[in-house]
Copies of this chain bind each other. A is one copy, B any other.
Amino acid sequence: MADETAESADNVIYIGNKEVMNYVLAVVTQINEGSDEVVLKARGRAISRTIDTAEIVRNRFLQDLEILDIQTGTEEISGEDGTSNVSTISVKLGKGE
């Protein structure tokens, strides 16, 4: 396969406003296609959904997957009334040693 979708480049899955099971399926698919690691990234309110995704994948689908790392950050967003800050999260899932 030449080119995966933009979302799966570098095994990154961006968590947005869809139903959580969409993202769960994306993670399970990535791993079942041979990826060792998947990174979930989100901003703002989608951060809660990111944790939901990781928990559901680990509890119901891929019990051998572990959360290897969680990083947080802050991004500036330009809006109509100046800039505001939004929190970001990056959750690395992979098979432990």
Enumerate chain A interface residues (CB-CB to B < 8 A): 44-48, 51-52, 54-56, 59, 67, 70, 72-74, 85, 87, 89
Contact residues in B for A47 (Cβ distance below 8 Å): 47-48, 51
Contact residues in B for A56 (Cβ distance below 8 Å): 85
CA distance A85 to B51 in the complex (A): 12
Contact residues in B for A74 (Cβ distance below 8 Å): 55, 59
Who on chain B is nearest to A53 by CB? B87
- Can you show 12 pairs from A to B with CB atoms below 8 A apart? A45-B45, A47-B47, A47-B48, A48-B48, A48-B87, A52-B87, A54-B72, A55-B72, A55-B74, A55-B87, A56-B85, A59-B74
